[in-house]
């Protein structure tokens, strides 16, 4: 049996690879094709397009690539219908994948969306399209399942694979030795995002924040993991344009080890914030985007907080800074507070532990079982 599968960025590649691995363990005869990243390809998927072509975020940015994305989606739908697949799985990337699923569903192909769009936060009218297009929604977060049940969309809360992969405790000293970081320094990890537009809007600003912190404390050392060669070159350009020299280590990949080694983390919103929470590291979340994207988002988004930890915690504990609020002094002061307040960090760690246990559900196994149940239904 053939399964179409599409992921659009690194976090989706991670989720997709775990799902493919488990599905192939249970049903070795299954084959997978679509749009995949390196992890999914290693797990056995055939990628018809480079995954990087879907790695774009923001309304203004998507508009600039609309023609290319529209053509890609049209060709993919034609391929899946002409060389008929048995089931389609969209992994995250909802604006792209739900359009594919809608057309395939009309053609009688079963459809799954793995990772809910933030329909509970903005553009709630999309739930009607989802109900018409998706045979099964797999959610990573518990409150999402309740939303879909309320709207009579078939749903399964599977937990988050990162909560299964990341141990409840991790060794900071071992991570520092692995990364060859200087001893006796406070480590501030800088994660400006995995997308080009994120590094564009955050890379230079994060370096300004790092410089402000370094002027207050010269015992700091900075480290940044870069997900691929393109982002590394882009961030190196930010460093070259930065007027001050900083003690900073650049690492290819290894974001989990980098966060494990850190005393505090400055990061863009997204999956990295969830991973940092699961690694029990204090963090500050900051995000900047194109002015048009921000203006439109302000009109549409209904949430008070935008980082995943604050949506999962009983009360918001992770500092968030947005757009022009991402300033060296404002963000830097909060980062340095974590280095001086052990009681605050211990309380935060306790809260992060409780969320970790809630999300630890053996997600890939649970998701694979749900997919096979749907695949076998009616056969």
Spatial separation of the C-alpha atoms in residues 50 and 33, rounded to whole Å = 12
Structure confidence at residue 294 as a pLDDT band (50, 70, 90): low
Domain-embedded: residue 167: no
The model's confidence at residue 296, banded by pLDDT at 50, 70 and 90, is low
Report the pLDDT value the prediction gives residue 60, as an integer from 0 to 100.
47
- The Cβ-side half-sphere exposure at 374, using a 13 Å CA radius, reads 24
- CA 45/CA 35 separation, integer angstroms: 8
Do residues 199 and 238 make contact, with C-beta atoms less than 8 angstroms apart? yes
Question: What CATH number is associated with residue 237?
Answer: 3.40.50.2000
Domain hosting 369: range is: 2-159+361-376
Residue 49 and residue 114 in one domain: yes
Lowest-confidence range among 1-15, 57-71, 330-344?
A: 57-71
User: What pLDDT, on the 0 to 100 scale, is given for residue 114?
Assistant: 97
Tell me the three state secondary structure of residue 272: helix
**Is it the case that residue 284 has pLDDT exceeding 80?**
yes
Rounded to 10 degrees, the C-alpha dihedral 340/344/345/346 comes to 130
* ∠ CA 294-298-299, rounded to 5°: 125
Residue 166 lies in a domain: no
Domain for residue 240, yes or no?
yes
Residue at 191 is within a domain: yes
Angle (deg, nearest 10), helices 342-359 and 328-340 = 90
According to DSSP, the residues that pair with 191 across neighbouring strands are 267
Q: Is residue 164 one of the residues assigned to a domain?
A: no
Q: Are 367 and 323 part of one and the same domain? A: no
More confident residue, 23 or 315: 23
Task: Encode pLDDT of 338-375 as tens digits.
Answer: 999 999 999 999 999 999 999 999 999 999 999 999 99
Same domain, 244 and 105: no
pLDDT, one tens digit per residue, over 133-174 is 999 999 999 889 999 999 999 999 999 988 998 999 999 999
Kindly state whether residue 264 falls inside one of the protein's structural domains: yes
**207 and 353 assigned to the same domain:** yes
Q: How far apart are CA 327 and CA 17, in angstroms?
A: 37
Q: Does residue 96 sit in the same domain as residue 206?
A: no
Residues 189 and 132 reside in one and the same domain: no
User: Residue-wise over 357-368: b if at least 16 C-beta within 10 A, else e?
Assistant: eebbbebbbbbb
19 and 114 share one domain: yes
With respect to residue 303, please indicate whether it lies within any of the assigned structural domains: yes
Q: What are phi and psi of 36, to 5 degrees?
A: -140, 150
Residues 333 and 369 in one domain: no
Residue 59 has pLDDT above 60, yes or no: no
Q: Answer yes or no: are the C-beta atoms of 105 and 130 closer than 8 Å.
A: no
pLDDT tens across 174-214, in order? 999 999 999 899 999 999 988 888 999 999 999 999 999 99
Per-position DSSP letters for 176-206, written without gaps between them: HHHTTPPTT-EEEEEE--SSHHHHHHHHHHH
Q: What average pLDDT does range 81-89 have in this prediction?
A: 97
Give the whole-angstrom CA distance, residue 95 versus residue 119.
11
Q: What is residue 143's predicted lDDT score, i.e. its pLDDT?
A: 87
Cβ 161 vs Cβ 18: under 8 Å: yes
3-state DSSP percent of the chain in helix, strand and coil, to 5: 55, 15, 30
What is the biggest distance separating any 2 CA atoms in the chain, rounded to whole angstroms?
66
Q: Identify whether the C-beta of residue 257 lies closer than 8 Å to the C-beta of residue 179.
A: yes
Mean residue pLDDT of the chain comes to: 91
If asked whether residues 299 and 180 sit together in one domain, one would say yes
Residue 269: pLDDT band by 50, 70, 90 thresholds?
A: confident
Report CA Rg, the chain: 21
User: Per the domain annotation, does 43 fall within a domain?
Assistant: yes
Q: What percent of the chain has pLDDT over 70?
A: 92
pLDDT score for 61: 47
Tell me how far apart the alpha carbons of residues 333 and 340 are, in angstroms, rounded to a whole number.
11
- Note whether 213 and 114 are same-domain residues: no
- Please write the tens of the pLDDT for every residue from 6-46: 998 888 998 999 999 999 999 999 999 999 999 999 999 99
Grade residue 324 by pLDDT with cuts at 50, 70 and 90.
Answer: confident
13-16 contact pairs (CB < 8 A, 24+) = 13/37, 13/38, 13/39, 13/40, 13/51, 13/91, 14/39, 14/161, 14/162, 15/91, 15/92, 15/114, 15/115, 15/161, 16/40, 16/43, 16/45, 16/89, 16/91, 16/114
Q: How many domains does the chain have?
A: 2
Q: Are residue 41 and residue 93 in the same domain, yes or no?
A: yes
Q: Are residues 13 and 102 in the same domain?
A: yes
């Amino acid at each position: 049996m053939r399964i179409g599968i599409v992921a659009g960025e690194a976090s989706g590649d991670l989720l997709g690879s775990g799902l493919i691995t488990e599905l192939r363990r249970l049903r070795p005869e299954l084959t997978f094709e679509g749009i995949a990243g390196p992890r999914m390809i290693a797990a056995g998927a055939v990628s018809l397009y480079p995954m990087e072509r879907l790695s774009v975020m923001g309304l203004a940015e998507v508009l600039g690539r609309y023609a290319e994305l529209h053509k890609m989606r049209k060709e993919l739908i034609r391929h899946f219908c002409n060389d008929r697949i048995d089931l389609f799985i969209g992994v995250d990337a909802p604006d792209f994948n739900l359009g594919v699923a809608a057309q395939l569903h009309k053609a009688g192909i079963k459809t799954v969306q793995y990772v809910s769009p933030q329909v509970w936060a903005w553009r709630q009218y999309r739930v009607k399209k989802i109900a018409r297009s998706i045979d099964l929604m797999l959610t990573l977060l518990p409150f999402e399942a309740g939303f879909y049940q309320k709207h009579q969309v078939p749903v399964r809360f599977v937990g988050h694979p990162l909560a299964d992969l990341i141990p409840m405790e991790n060794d900071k000293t071992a991570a520092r030795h692995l990364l060859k970081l200087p001893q006796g320094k406070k480590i501030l990890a800088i994660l400006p995002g995995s997308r080009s537009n994120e590094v564009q809007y955050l890379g230079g600003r994060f370096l300004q924040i790092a410089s402000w912190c370094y002027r207050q404390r010269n015992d700091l050392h900075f480290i940044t993991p870069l997900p691929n060669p393109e982002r590394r070159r882009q961030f190196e350009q930010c460093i070259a344009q930065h007027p001050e020299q900083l003690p900073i280590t650049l690492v290819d990949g290894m974001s989990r080890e980098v966060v494990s080694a850190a005393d505090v983390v400055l990061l863009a919103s997204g999956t990295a914030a969830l991973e940092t929470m699961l690694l029990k590291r204090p963090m500050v979340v900051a995000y900047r985007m194109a002015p048009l994207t921000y203006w439109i988002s302000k009109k549409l988004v209904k949430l008070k907080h935008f980082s995943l930890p604050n949506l999962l915690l009983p009360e918001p504990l992770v500092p968030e800074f947005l757009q022009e609020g991402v300033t060296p002094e404002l963000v830097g002061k909060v980062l340095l507070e974590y280095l001086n307040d052990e009681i605050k960090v211990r309380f935060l760690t306790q809260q992060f532990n409780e969320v970790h246990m809630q999300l630890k559900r053996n997600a890939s196994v649970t998701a694979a079982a749900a997919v096979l149940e749907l695949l076998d239904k009616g056969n």
